[in-house]
């Protein structure tokens, strides 16, 4: 492992409510994820896995403890604008719902993050086409979401997440709206991205067959990290 992990939780807790209504979504969690890992985050509903993902993605902040990205304490050392810049520059997100603009073609959907970053039209188009080529959909660049299958829509969503060349791809139930065949295709593609491109992937899933694609599983229960190991170790 590197001297400074890409991602580190140091005693991270997240508390909602007060008194009898208090809920400890995360309870003094310690973890580290190195550059290039493929990690699945698992646990029952209410276990803390989604809260963990939200903090990792700089979409939420801890109530206590520290979340460090590349050694930087995200909540303490970065302003809100800097946290937004962190998300735009270093992080990519793929969700269960594809979140594509329905009347916009695949190319324009993939270009969208670059529009927000002020990238010029020509460069934007070149990078979006390269991202679609990466996911095997260059020939569908001018098709709208309605003209694409569920699996193709998710690939467009992945291309959109990758177009800004993030260090980490966060995938929250990325195959939740797909049938088993398309789910396997998406998981095989994510595994290939991790293996050939070295992109760090952190994926939330409740399905053991999908988690087995990862190299490591973090298992949460009642806000605590209960297991941390290979799929063979955690899912035995």
Domains and CATH numbers, the chain: 7-234 (3.40.50.300)
For residue 2, the model assigns a pLDDT of: 53
26-30, 95-99, 155-159: lowest mean pLDDT where? Answer: 95-99
Residue written as tokens 């509903």?
Answer: 45
How do residues 129-156 score in pLDDT, each as one tens digit? 999 998 889 999 999 988 999 889 988 9
For residue 175, the model assigns a pLDDT of: 85
For residue 140, the model assigns a pLDDT of: 94
| Averaged pLDDT, 225-232 | 97
For residue 219, the model assigns a pLDDT of: 97
Hey, what long-range contacts does 151-156 have (CB within 8 A, 24 or more apart)? 151/178, 151/182, 151/185, 151/186, 153/98, 153/100, 154/94, 154/98, 154/178, 154/182, 154/186, 155/186, 155/189, 156/98, 156/100, 156/106, 156/109, 156/110, 156/132
For residue 92, the model assigns a pLDDT of: 92
CA distance linking residue 21 with residue 177, whole number of Å: 33
Q: What is the dihedral of CA 205, 208, 213, 218, to 10 degrees?
A: 60
How do residues 113-126 score in pLDDT, each as one tens digit? 898 888 999 999 99
How do residues 51-63 score in pLDDT, each as one tens digit? 999 999 999 999 9
Across the chain, what does the average pLDDT equal? Answer: 92
Is residue 15 pLDDT above 50, yes or no? yes
For residue 118, the model assigns a pLDDT of: 86
For residue 1, the model assigns a pLDDT of: 47
Taken in order 37, 42, 48, 50, the sign of the CA dihedral is: positive
Q: Give the rounded percent of residues in the chain with a pLDDT score beyond 70.
A: 99
């Amino acid at each position: 492992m590197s001297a400074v992990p890409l991602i580190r939780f140091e005693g991270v807790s997240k508390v909602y409510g007060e008194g009898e209504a208090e809920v400890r979504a995360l309870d003094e969690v310690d973890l580290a994820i190195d550059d290039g890992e493929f990690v699945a985050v698992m646990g029952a509903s209410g276990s803390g896995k989604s809260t963990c993902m939200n903090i990792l993605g700089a979409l939420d902040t801890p109530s206590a403890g520290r979340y460090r990205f590349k050694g930087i304490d995200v909540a303490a050392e970065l302003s809100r604008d800097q946290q937004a810049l962190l998300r735009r520059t270093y992080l990519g997100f793929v969700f269960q719902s594809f979140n594509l603009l329905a009347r916009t073609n695949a190319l324009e959907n993939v270009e969208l993050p670059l529009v927000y970053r002020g990238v010029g039209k020509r460069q934007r188009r070149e990078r979006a086409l390269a991202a679609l080529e990466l996911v095997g959909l260059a020939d569908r660049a001018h098709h709208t979401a309605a003209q694409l299958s569920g699996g193709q829509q998710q690939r467009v969503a992945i291309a959109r997440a990758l177009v800004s060349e993030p260090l980490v791809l966060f995938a929250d139930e990325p195959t939740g709206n797909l049938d088993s065949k398309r789910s396997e295709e998406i998981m095989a593609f994510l595994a290939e991205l991790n293996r050939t491109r070295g992109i760090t992937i952190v994926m939330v899933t409740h399905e053991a067959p999908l988690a087995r694609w990862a190299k490591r599983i973090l298992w949460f229960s009642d806000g605590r990290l209960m297991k941390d190991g290979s799929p063979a170790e955690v899912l035995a």
